[in-house]
Chain A
Amino acid sequence: METYTLMVLLLAATIRVATPLLLAALAGMFSERAGVIDLGLEGKMLGAAFAAATVATVTGSAWLGLGAGMVTAIALSLLLGFACVTYRGNQVVAAMAVNIMVSGLGPTLALAWFNLGGQTPQLDAAGQRFTAVVWPWSQSARETPFPGLLYAELLSGHNLVVYLAAALVPAAAWLLYRTRFGLRLRAVGENPQAVDTAGISVTGLRYQAMIISGALCGVAGSYLSIAASSGFVRDMTAGKGYLALAALIFGKWRPYPTLAACLLFAFTDALAVRLQGVALPLVGVIPVQFILALPYVLTVLLLAGFVGRAVAPRAIGVPYSKEK
């Protein structure tokens, strides 16, 4: 019974931790499927986290905060597109430039506007954050372990962004595989010449992909600052953008396997949190340092050994020019 409860709580934590990863990985999927390497996920999320927290503080509305986060991330995404689609710059360098710029700009603006050492004020009042949505009868459902506890902990009690992220996976799959736009988008990442020959704008499609990527990163970043925690702090993405990219590769650039990869990464992270100081059978208490390294070790092992051949979109990283 105790183990069952712990397991359910662990899965609930997995969902919370996976949300920003999943949103960022889906964002990366659109831009990478269109042929643009998206190392800028980290920076776009961080920019969105800052903008969302700032606007939520000033206006007192979480929704306006979310909107501002998305607009900011789209703007950063377009900036990246401008550098590496229009001007055919090196995609990795341009993305790193965006990441570094945002990581400095956020705290600098926060310092200038709020004078709190690079943080935004703590969001407290109702409506400034997305808080947990409690589904009907979840309190009474808690009494019965199965399926009541599953209902109360896994389905109920998350914030809106979590549900949005879950809904976005089938939506992304549909868009990518069932629509004309999706077909063209995938084609532009595999064989841009063919798309161009068919009379469709490669640049246009790549920009559309960057806009979608920006919007999703915007939601991911806003989740960090106005849903999961209450305000922006320096470098609060803490490498989640890169981890999302790893999940995307692990999921072979497909929506559902990417979802599985994000859940796995989040599970190891949630497990690491709970394994600390717990005596396990046979081995006893595992040193904290080992547990903290666990998600990363697992990532390396999985990516190195178990992922099989991850075939990237063929035209990824190659700026398109008609003349060649």
Chain B
Amino acid sequence: MIISSRFSSWLIAVLVVTTALAAGAKDFSPAIVYDFGGKFDRSFNQSASEGAARFTTETGTAVREFEITNAAQREQAMQQMARRGATIIVAIGFTQASAVEKVAKQFPNVMFTIVDAVVDLPNVQSVNFREQESSFLCGMAAALASKTGKVGFIGGMDIPLIRKFALGYVEGAKFVNPSAEVFQNMTGSTPAAWGDPTKGAELAKSQFGRGADVVFHAAGATGIGVMQAAKDSGRLSIGCDSNQDYLHPGSVLTSAVKRVDVATYKAFLDAKNGTWKPGQIVLGLAEQGVDYSYDEFNRAVLTPEMKQKIDAAKADIISGKLKVSEYKVQ
């Protein structure tokens, strides 16, 4: 007993000293928690990690990272980071909302930025995107490039966010070709749907079988399979979140780019400069939060005529002349 009580008092002393040091140092310490699919999904999370990397190279401040492998780790990871003196924690993905809500209440002095969800707390910044706008442009590209008048959409997990992509895509395709047929598939209804490329490829093949010749994925790492299937079958695919044109040059028509990297980078930079503000931020085409990609990898498939039409619609959306509907949960 004596030993253990002595040990515990020693432990407390150490804890007190380390906490004091952590509190006293007041170092700027940014942290980021990725969602399922992982930092290298070549899509959503990877975009965030590029933003974090840019921040590190420009400011020299290392960003602490955590890739979750099961749902229970989110809260633990955030608590750990907050306890170890993180100044700002960026949480990537809507699934982190409840964890952010809980941990943000426990650590009111830590700044939290969440992407793709809204958490209404005084120390939380919620960044959302108008994905329907970039999806609209991609729908236009798909319908313009399609020879059969049939195009496909493959979503990851069946959630309102992905429905938002789908709706914009359908509207874009119909805007170009009112009689265009759009096939829609969701990969699954659990987070495993973000990482199942075999299923993605199978879904893509089923849409090709029905006559689709362009397929757009909003499915994280599952989309890798979709794009591979498109390449194998000689069809076109449209990437998502990150610019994925480079994955299969000549087979990827364009990508619905979502600047999660900019959101991440800006959150870190603002926090460092003291200009970070809580509340809601919504980024669309006008704010350059979303866009479609055009570079040396897809120049051969996305012709100048297509680009001209897409750019015209883009200008109309920005000026408010053209309205893209937003998916509403009934």
Q: Which residues of A contact B (CB under 8 A)?
A: 5-6, 9, 12-13, 16-17, 107, 116-119, 122, 131-132, 224, 228-231, 233-236, 238, 270, 273-274, 276-277, 288-289, 292
Which residues from B are CB-within-8-Å of A235? 192, 195
Q: Cβ of A270 and Cβ of B202 under 8 Å apart?
A: yes
Q: Cβ of A122 and Cβ of B224 under 8 Å apart?
A: yes
For B, the interface residue count at a CB cutoff of 8 angstroms equals 32
CB distance from B36 to the nearest CB of A (A): 9
Which residues from A are CB-within-8-Å of B206? 9, 13, 270, 273-274
Report the separation of the CA atoms of residues A9 and B202 in the bound assembly, to the nearest whole angstrom.
11
Q: Cβ of B210 and Cβ of A6 under 8 Å apart?
A: yes
Q: Cβ of B40 and Cβ of A117 under 8 Å apart?
A: yes
- Is B183 an interface residue when CB atoms closer than 8 A count as contact? yes
CB distance from A293 to the nearest CB of B (A): 8
Number of A-B contacts (CB under 8 A): 87
Considering the complex, give the chain A residue whose CB is closest to the CB of B158: A288
Q: Out of B185, B188, B202, B203, which one reaches A16, CB within 8 Å?
A: B202
Considering the complex, give the chain A residue whose CB is closest to the CB of B42: A122
Report the separation of the CA atoms of residues A119 and B196 in the bound assembly, to the nearest whole angstrom.
12
Q: Cβ of B195 and Cβ of A233 under 8 Å apart?
A: yes
Which residues from A are CB-within-8-Å of B195? 233-236
* CB proximity to A under 8 Å, residues B156-215: 158, 183-186, 188-189, 192, 195-199, 201-203, 205-206, 209-210
Q: A6-B209, A238-B196, A292-B189 are in contact. Are A273 and B40 (CB under 8 A)?
A: no
Q: Cβ of A277 and Cβ of B209 under 8 Å apart?
A: no
Report the separation of the CA atoms of residues A230 and B199 in the bound assembly, to the nearest whole angstrom.
12
Shortest 9 CB-CB contacts between residues of A and residues of B? A117-B40, A9-B209, A117-B38, A229-B197, A116-B40, A117-B39, A229-B198, A230-B228, A277-B184
Report the separation of the CA atoms of residues A315 and B39 in the bound assembly, to the nearest whole angstrom.
47
Report the separation of the CA atoms of residues A228 and B198 in the bound assembly, to the nearest whole angstrom.
6
Which residues from A are CB-within-8-Å of B189? 288-289, 292
Report the separation of the CA atoms of residues A276 and B155 in the bound assembly, to the nearest whole angstrom.
12
Report the separation of the CA atoms of residues A108 and B298 in the bound assembly, to the nearest whole angstrom.
34
Q: Cβ of B201 and Cβ of A229 under 8 Å apart?
A: yes
30 sample A-B contacts, Cβ–Cβ < 8 Å, listed by A number: A5-B209, A6-B210, A9-B206, A12-B209, A13-B202, A16-B205, A117-B39, A117-B40, A117-B41, A117-B67, A119-B38, A122-B224, A131-B232, A132-B232, A229-B198, A233-B195, A233-B224, A235-B192, A235-B195, A236-B196, A238-B192, A238-B198, A270-B206, A274-B206, A276-B184, A276-B186, A277-B185, A288-B158, A289-B189, A292-B186
Which residues from B are CB-within-8-Å of A236? 195-198
Given A235-B195, A236-B197, A292-B189, 10 more contacts at CB 8 Å?
A: A9-B209, A13-B206, A16-B202, A230-B228, A236-B195, A270-B206, A274-B210, A277-B185, A289-B158, A292-B158
- Is B225 an interface residue when CB atoms closer than 8 A count as contact? yes
Report the separation of the CA atoms of residues A273 and B226 in the bound assembly, to the nearest whole angstrom.
14
Q: Cβ of B158 and Cβ of A273 under 8 Å apart?
A: no
Report the separation of the CA atoms of residues A228 and B247 in the bound assembly, to the nearest whole angstrom.
18
